[in-house]
Amino acid sequence: MKNATPGVIINTTKPHAVKALETLVSEMEKRGMTFLLESASAMSIGREGTTISELNSRCRFLIVIGGDGTILSAVREMTDLNVPILGVNPGESFGFLAEIPESELPQTLDAIMEGRYEVEERSLIEATYVGPDGLEKKERALNDLAFVRGLDARIIELRISVNGELLTTYGLDGLIMSTATGSTAYSLSAGGPVMYPGLEAFLLTPVCPHSFTNRPMLFPRGTKVEIENVTIGRPVHISADGRQTLTISSGEKVTVALGDKIKFLTRKNHSFVQKLRGKMGWQGSLRETE
């Protein structure tokens, strides 16, 4: 990618991200790189910018500075999923997607220009809803789709079918349908397992199910999981990566399956195992301190 044009997006609400953007712009200009900035990001350092969709169509890759939420927001607005993302952590994010620390920006830019990088594909998860008018609506997420009860404190009831075959009816506080990428997010907090990001599978994690036999389940690509709201007289709300997108009334259903893939740029010395150890604070043994 020696002469590739990157697009840059930051979380402008974080001072650390603005500082990291200044560092990034300085390093790119030192290398004679041509780049484009998203409008709000550019404004934070007194420059001119453009829209995310314009970056997506004109740039070879996107550099996103901020936490995982910033990356998830950028993914929602992307129209061309073949444009890879490089996530940069400005120093205050716990997330797993923004893996390059600001201090490593210079050597990361050199590695990309010299071709010393890898492209990692991550599967998106997709919900398909057909309304009473017959119109179809699709929502996609990189991390997860969450089925929640809203302000009502009572449990919701969801009937689950897998490839047309009834699995069970849950009584629970919520349900998370997660990608492998999202297994370290909301699903992990609800007791779900950690999955390697490249796995072609998705995860069903019940939130506070009212049965001890209800446990997380893993489904391979190609599986269609139908989720029907059988809660009497109350809707169920669906959020995609933390943003509410759909509401299904009693008797309505959605179908969830793995969808398209999105690409991430990563340096060859940044492994998922290293990230787990660092983010989780795992030591490996009772006496290990490094």
Q: Catalytic amino acids?
A: 68
Is residue 235 within 8 A of residue 249, CB to CB? The reply is: yes
171 alpha-carbon distance from chain centroid? 27
CB within 8 A of 245, min separation 6: which ones? Answer: 139, 238, 239
Paired tokens of 233: 């007289």
State whether residue 3 is helix, strand or coil. coil
Q: How far apart are CA 80 and CA 32, in angstroms?
A: 26
Contact 179, 142 (CB under 8 A): yes
Q: What DSSP assignment string belongs to 232-287?
A: TT--EEEEETTEEEEEE-TT-EEEEEEEEEEEEEE-TT--HHHHHHHHHT--SSSS
Chain centre to alpha carbon of residue 57: 21
Burial degree of 8 (CB within 10 A; 0-12, 13-18, 19+): buried
Measure the CA–CA gap between 74 and 52, rounded to whole angstroms: 7
